Structure 1
C-alpha cells in the first residue's frame, strides 16, 4: 500500500530542518550556489565553489563581480527572472571573476526567484556549474566534424587548405594559416624530413575571426603574409623546429618572446592579432614534409593544451592525406595535359580556301582534341572530338583516335565512312581494355567519346558533315545570320549502339563561319544561342571570334575543359585553277601535256617542275584513256602545292605495279609516285579522280603573277 498520502511527522515540520538543509547545501554542494538580493547583489555563495570567492564577490552587483562576455545580456536575464518569476534553466554563460587572471570559463546557469510565504520577492538563487572542459570537448568535436566534412572533398591543394582553415576558425582557432611546400603545389614528391631551411613554403590559405586584424596584417609595409606569398622558415623558430623534428608544439606568446626578432613577419601577425597562444603542427606523411599549419588564439580564448595537440595532429594527418592525393592528381593532370598538348596540332593550319582558328580551354578533362587536315582537291577536313575522363589514359585514347582519323582522312573517304571506321577502331580499344586483368583499375573504367567530322570543298562551296554523339555545328552566314543546321546524330564512339552514321551537306556562301565545339560549350540551347551571338561579327578575325566565345562564358562553366574550332570558308582564286574537258582518244595525252606546259609557264613555274608535271599528266591521262570511261577532265590547282587531277567516270582504281625488265608498260604509276610528293585516288558520286601533289619552289623574286 502506498504511503504517498501519509501525514508528515511533526518533527519534519520544524524550521530547524530547513536551516540544516540550507547549511548542508551551501557547505557541501559541488554546484556553485549564488543568492542575489532584489538589487542583483551577491549576498551568499556556496563555500566549495571557490575558497576565496566570497571575499571577492559578496556585496557586489553580479555583473560587477564577474567578467562576462555579454554582461548586458546576463543582467537582463537576471532581471527578467526577478520580474516575472519564470526560471531559466541551463543557460550557457562565459565569464570569470574580474580579479582572477586567465581566459573566461564556461558555466551552465540555472536561475530561480526566491519568495517568502507572503509572496514577497527576496531575490534570486543561481546554480552555476563549470562546464569549461565539456565545452572544450564539444568545440574539439565540432572542429573534427567540420574537418571531416570539408577536407578531402576536392582534388585541389588550395581548396583543401582553405577547407582546413574554415573548419578551424572560429572555434578551435582565432587565426589559422596553412603553408605548403612550393614544389608540392606543383605536383612534385615531398622531401623527407627534416626540411632544409632553404626550401620555400607558399601560403596556401588564411583565415581569421577578426577582419580588422586581417586588414592590419594585409595592410603592412609589404605583401608578406598574404595568400600566395612564399617564405623560407627562419632558423631557431617554432616553425623551423616543427619541420625539423616533425613534432607539433605549443608556444606561449608575449612581448618578450625571443625568437620573434628572427621572424619579423610572424611578429607583425602576432601584434595585429594580439595572439597569446600558438600551436604549430607539421603536415607530414610517411616521414615526408608537405607543409605547416599555424593556429593562433587571441584574447578571450583559452591557451592551447595537450588535448588540442592530439586533435591537431589527427587533423594534420587527414589534411596531409588529402593534400597528397591532390598533389598526385595535380601531377597526373600536368602529365596528361602535357601529353594532350603534344598530341594536338601546334596551330590551326589554313587550307587552300579556308582559314581556321581554335581555342582549347584547359580543365580536368584531357581528352578534347581538334584537327585541320588538308585533303586532295583543295578540300579541308575539320575535326573536333572529346574523350570523357581525365588523366594520362584519357589523353592516350585521344591521341590514338586522332591518329586513326588522320589516317582515314588520307584515304579520301566520305565523313560517314570515316566515323564508321573510327568506331571500329574504338571498339577494338574497348575490347583491349575489357581484356585487362580485373585488378587493373582501367578494367572498371568505361570509355566514351564523341566526334564530329566535316569536309569543305571550295569548288562546290559545301561542307559534308557527320557526327558521332557530338553537338551539331553552328553556321554563321556572311551577313551575321545563323541558318538552321540539321545534321543527323550518330551513336557515340564506344557505345553499344551500332546504328549507321549519316551525313548532311551544308551549302555555304563564301565568307561563312563554321563552328565545331565540344559538348561543354554546346550543352543546351542557351549556350548555343550565346555562341551564335558571339560569332555574329563578320568584321572580326577568327581568333577574335574564338576569344569572344570564351569571354561570354560564365565563370567556371567548363571545369572539364573545352575546345572550339572555327573555319571561314572561301573559294579558290580563278587564276589559281585551270580545268579542261578532254576527249577519250589516244591523242589526248599529247594535248594535255601542251595545255599544262602553257599554263605552268604562265604561272612562272620553274622548268624542272614543268617537265615533271608534263610527265605526270601524260601518265595519268594515258591511264584514264586506256582503263577509264568518259568523260575525262583535267584540273590544275596552284597553292603551296601544285595539284594535278584527272577525273573519269570509271569506279575501277589503278594499282601501282613494278614492271619487269622485259615489260613494255606498267611503269606509269610508279613514275608518278617518284615524281610527286603525294598521290592517290579519290572516289565520288560520278567516278574517281587520280591526283598528285608536288611541292612548288618559292619564286626567286616578286614578279610572279600571284603570291603563293
Structure 2
C-alpha cells in the first residue's frame, strides 16, 4: 500500500465482463480467490468460471447481487457472494463484478471504528477504514445501497456504487484521510430501480483514535433529491420562458420547444402541428377529431441525425385513435406509455415501422402532450426516452405539460401573427405598383422589403407620369404596422395620384395631403377616443421636367434623397425638412435643382438607413458609398444597396427604395411659338405646325395635330389673356401639344345643344387624343393634349 493512496487492490476480488460476456479485467484479488492467473482467463467467456458450466445471461438492469458457485483453478467449487453493476451506470457497457475477500473484521481493542454507533442515526451513515474499505453501515445506508451491510463490508465505495460519481466521492474521502479535515461533496447518481438521478450531500469527517491519528472516514449522506428535482424543474420552466417564443415564426417556436426539452426532459422530442384551414380560416375550438393529419415541424434528439424520427420535417402523417398522439388529442391531456407497464408495444402496433425503430433504439418510455392554447388544439408534442433509464413519472408529466402550455401560447401568437402578416403583405402588394410606369423622363427601379419582426408597414413608392412628359417621383412611410398601416398607405397613395393628376406643385400637393391625413386621423380618433394623432405619415414628392431638366422637390418629415451626378460623387440634397403629415397648419417648402442627363436620384424610407447596429449618419454614409459604385443597371444597384445596408436580409422596419435615372429631351424635339391674340393668324400657325411635323417625320399625326392646335389656340385667343404660347414636344411614342396663357380660368367639357354655335371643340380633342387637361402655372395656365404615335393606341 502506498502512503499516498492506501488502497489495497488485492483486498477485493474484482473482474470486468464486457457486453459479449468475455472477461476483460482480472485483478490480484480475483487470482487469490480462484487461483486463475490473468492470462488464463482474459478474453475468454466468464461463463467458463461457473462451477456447473451452464452459461448465464447477463443480468437485466444496471445492478445485481447474489451468490454464485465458481470454479477454482484446482477444480473445487467456491460459493461467492458478488455485487455486479455497470461501470458507468448511465451509459451501460461493461459489468464490474466484485466481492470482498476480508469482510473488514480487523478490530483491535483500541480500534476507534469499533466504537462508532450507527444504528440509531436517522441519516445514511457509513464508516471506511484507512484503506477506504467499508467497515460499518447503518440500516438507512444499507437501504440506500440496496444490499445488506454485512455483504458489503470490505468493499470500496467505487466498487459498491460504480460510475464516476462514486470515484469522485472516493477521491474526496482520500483527501479527508490525508488532511484530517472534514469535507462536503454533492453527488448525483441513479439510486433505486427506476434509474432516476438522486441528489446527495455527502458529509465526510475523519475518525480518529485517542492519540488523534486518523483511522478512517465517516460518510453521512443526506438526500436532497426533492429539492434538486424541484430546482431542475424550475430551471427548465425558466429556460422555456426565455428560449421559447424568441421570434414570431411558427416553425422556429416549435423547434425551440424541442431544443429546450432535450436532454433536460427527454432524449427525443417531436412537434407535430395541425395545418390551418385555407383562406385564413380558424382552427376549431376544443379537441380534434381523430384520425388527425398533423405536419412534422420540429424534432430534436440527443443522437446526431435524429435516427428516432420516422416522419421527416415538413411531412404529414395521420394519427389514429390507437396511437399515443391520437389518444392525447382526443382526450385533451397527456398520455404516457412505457415498457414497464407493457402497453408500449400495444400503442405502437398501429405503425410497424415505428414499432421496429423503437425496438432497435431501445425506447422504453414515451409521452404525448397535446399543444393547446385559448381553447384550440394546435398539435401534439411527443417526448421519448431511451438513453435515460428512468421512465416518465407524474412530476415529469406536469413539467412537460407546463413547458408545452407555454410553448402553445407562443405558437398560437406566431400563427396569428403569420396570418395577419400574410394578409397585410397581400394587401400591401396589391396596393403598391406592380410595375413602374415607363416614361420619357426617367428610367426607374424599386425594391420593397417588409419588416422581419414588426410586421408589414405602410411604406410606399410611385412613379406618376404628368403632362408635358414630366414625371412625379413619390416615396412615403405611414406610422405603424399591420393591416391598418397597409390600408392607410393605399388611401394615401390614391390621394397622391389624384392630387398629381391636377398638376399641383410639390409643396402645394403636400399641403393638401396633410389635410387628408388630418381628416383620416380625426376619423380614427372618433373611433377610439382619447388617442389624437392616430394616423401619421412622412412623404417626399418630386417633379422632374425632361425639357428643362429641372427637378422640384418637397418633403414632409421624410429623409432627403441622394443625388448621384453622372460625373461626381453622390451627395445628399439639401431640402427644407417640412413637418410630418397630419400635424396640420404648418407650411411646406419646395426646392429646385438642375440635373444633368443621366443623374440618379435615390429615394428611400428610414428603414434603409436606420439600424440598431449603427446610427443614422453612418447609414447615410454607407448608402452614398454604395451608390458611388456605379453600374449600368438600376436593378443591380438596388440589389447592391440592400445587400450593403441590410446584410442579414431581415430589416427591423419596412424598407422602400426607388432609384430614378434622369433623361433629357434635346431641343430638336421641342418647338415653341409665340401666338398673337389675333384669330386671323390661326391658319398660319397651323401651317407652321404641319411644317415642323414634316421635319420631325411625324406626318402621320398631322391631321389630328392640326385639329388640336387649331382648337386650343383659338380657345386661348378667344377666352385667354395674352401672351399666348404654343409648344410641341415629341419622343418616339407621343406628341404633346401645349397652349399657355396668363388667364387662370380653365376650360371644361360640356355637351353642346343642337342650336349652339360652339362647345364642340374640346369634345373633339378629348375623342381624338390619349388625354388632355390643364395645369396651373406661376404665370397662368397651360392646356395640353397628348397624341399617340403608335398604331395600337
The counterpart of 1:119, out of the listed 184, 190, 212, is: 212
- The SS at the match of 1:594 is helix
1:472 partnered with 2:560: yes
Distance 2:723 2:716 in 1: 9
Question: What CA RMSD, in Å, does the superposition of the two structures yield over aligned residues?
Answer: 3.3
Q: What is the Cα deviation at residue 520 of structure 1?
A: 0.6
Task: Confirm or deny that 1:61 pairs with 2:164.
Answer: no
Q: Which residue of 1 aligns with 2:710?
A: 618
SS at match of 1:214: coil
Q: Deviations over 1:338-371 (max 9, x none)?
A: 1111111111112122111111113313311111
Q: What's the CA shift for 1:171?
A: 2.5
2:119 paired with 1:31: no
Displacement of 1:286 in angstroms is 5.8
Whether the 8 Å CA contact 1:635–1:645 is kept in 2: the answer is: yes
What's the counterpart of residue 500 of structure 2?
A: 409
Tell me if structure 1 keeps the 8 A contact 2:441–2:544.
Answer: no
Match of 1:434 among 525, 539, 542: 525
Moved more, 49-58 or 509-518: 49-58
The within-5 A match list for 1:326-337 is: 326-337=414-425
- Given candidates 333, 345, 349, the residue that maps to 1:247 is 333
Residues 347, 257 of structure 1: alpha-carbon distance in 2 compared, 3 angstrom cutoff = same
Structure 2 residue 590 is matched with structure 1 residue 503? yes
Deviations 1:563-605 (A, max 9, x none): 1111111123566543334334323321232233344456666
Q: What count of residue pairs does the alignment treat as equivalent?
A: 667
**2:640 maps to which residue?**
548
Distance in 1 separating the partners of 2:737 and 2:691 = 15
Q: Residue 68 of structure 2 corresponds to which residue in structure 1?
A: none
Q: Which moved more, 1:277-286 or 1:428-437?
A: 277-286
Report if the CA contact (8 A) 2:670-2:727 is conserved.
no
Quick one: structure 1 residues 503 and 253, their matched pair in 2 at CA, closer, same or farther if it must change by over 3 Å? farther
Which of 475, 480, 488 aligns to 1:384? It is: 475
Change in Cα spacing, 1:269 to 1:372, as seen in structure 2 (3 Å) is: farther
Q: Is the 8 A contact 1:201 1:230 kept in 2?
A: yes
SS in structure 1 of the partner of residue 606 of structure 2: coil
Quote the residue 2:84 is aligned against: none
1:283 matched to 2:371? The reply is: yes
Per-residue displacement from partner, 1:285-312 (whole Å, max 9, x unpaired)? 4664311112233434532112222232
Checking the alignment, whether the CA contact within 8 Å between 2:336 and 2:367 is kept in structure 1 is yes
Paired with 1:198 and 1:47, the residues of 2 have a C-alpha distance of 54
Match of 1:358 in 2: 446
Alignment of 1:106-145 (within 5 A): 106-145=199-238
Q: Secondary structure at the match of 2:307?
A: helix
- Larger deviation: 348-357 or 671-680? 671-680
Q: Distance in 1 between matches of 2:533 and 2:216?
A: 74
Q: Distance in 1 between matches of 2:505 and 2:210?
A: 106
Instruction: Rate the CA distance shift 1:297–1:106 in 2: closer, same or farther, 3 A.
Output: farther
Aligned 1:469-548 pairs, distance under 5 A: 469-479=557-567, 481-494=569-582, 496=583, 498-523=585-610, 524-548=616-640
Between 612-621 and 230-239, the greater mean CA deviation after superposition: 230-239
Q: How far apart are the structure 2 equivalents of 1:43 and 1:214?
A: 46
Distance 2:296 2:387 in 1: 28
CA distance in 1, matches of 2:721, 2:654: 50
What CA distance in whole angstroms lies between the structure 2 residues aligned with 1:188 and 1:74?
Answer: 61
1:445 Cα shift? 8.6
Between the aligned partners of 1:423 and 1:144, the Cα distance in structure 2 is: 51
Where do 1:248-267 residues align within 5 Å?
248-253=334-339, 257=345, 263=351
The CA distance in 2 between the partners of 1:307 and 1:402, in whole Å, is: 59
Note closer, same or farther for the CA distance 1:198–1:514 as it changes in structure 2 (3 Å cut): same
1:454 to 517, 542, 551: 542
Q: Distance in 1 between matches of 2:357 and 2:183?
A: 42
Contact 1:471–1:522, Cα closer than 8 Å, also in 2: no
Tell me the TM-score normalised to structure 1 length: 0.85
TM-aligned CA distance change 1:131 to 1:76, over 3 Å: same
Residue in 2 aligned with 1:182? 275
1: distance between equivalents of 2:604 and 2:339?
59
Where does residue 10 of structure 1 map in the other structure? Answer: none
Alignment correspondent of 1:214: 304
Aligned-residue offset at 1:32: 0.5
Pair 1:42-2:130 in alignment: no
Paired with 1:216 and 1:272, the residues of 2 have a C-alpha distance of 14
- SS of corresponding position for 2:784: strand
What corresponds to 1:630 in structure 2? 723
Show the counterpart of 2:288. 194
| Cα deviation code 1:237-285 (max 9, x no counterpart) | 3223323333311222599836557547756875797543222111124
- Hey, what's the Cα distance between the residues in 2 that align with 1:490 and 1:676? 39
Are 1:157 and 1:185, in contact at CA under 8 Å, matched by a contact in 2? no
How many angstroms apart in 2 are the aligned matches of 1:284 and 1:691?
66
1:233–1:577 distance in 2 versus 1, CA, 3 Å: farther
User: Structure 1 170/286 Cα, relative in aligned 2: closer, same or farther at 3 Å?
Assistant: same
Separation in 1, partners of 2:506, 2:187: 76
Q: Which residue of 2 aligns with 1:9?
A: none
- How far, CA to CA, are the matches of 1:75 and 1:592 in structure 2? 115
In 1, the alpha carbon distance for the partners of 2:151 and 2:656 equals: 75
Equivalent residues in 2 for 1:368-379 (5 A)? 368-379=459-470
The answer to whether the aligner puts 1:165 opposite 2:258 as a matched pair is: yes
Unaligned runs of at least 5 residues, structure 1: 1-14, 700-707
Tell me if structure 2 keeps the 8 A contact 1:30–1:49: no
Note closer, same or farther for the CA distance 1:434–1:663 as it changes in structure 2 (3 Å cut). Answer: same
Question: How much has 1:378 moved relative to structure 2?
Answer: 0.4
* Separation in structure 1 between the aligned mates of residue 699 and residue 262 of structure 2, nearest angstrom: 79
Answer whether contact 1:373 1:381 (CA < 8 A) is retained: yes
Which residue matches 1:342? 430
Work out the CA distance in 1 between the residues paired with 2:532 and 2:199. 54
Pair member with larger Rg? 2
Counterpart of 2:402 in structure 1 is 314
Partner of 2:189: 95
Shift of 1:386: 1.4
Give the CA deviation at 1:158. Answer: 2.6
Matches within 5 A, 1:552-701: 552=644, 553-572=646-665, 576-600=669-693, 610-626=702-718, 627-656=720-749, 663-698=756-791
Separation in 2, partners of 1:498, 1:573: 42
* 1:119 Cα offset (Å): 1.1
SS at match of 2:186: strand
User: Secondary structure, in 3 states, of the residue corresponding to 2:480?
Assistant: coil
For 1:567 and 1:19, the matched residues in 2 are separated by 95
Alignment partners' CA distance in 2, 1:78 and 1:234 = 56
Q: Cα deviations across residues 210-239 of structure 1 (Å, max 9, x unaligned)?
A: 3xx123639x9xxx6555454444774322
**CA distance in structure 1 between the partners assigned to 2:279 and 2:225 by the alignment:** 43
Matches of 2:685 and 2:672 in 1, distance apart?
11
**Secondary structure of residue in 1 paired with 2:139:** coil
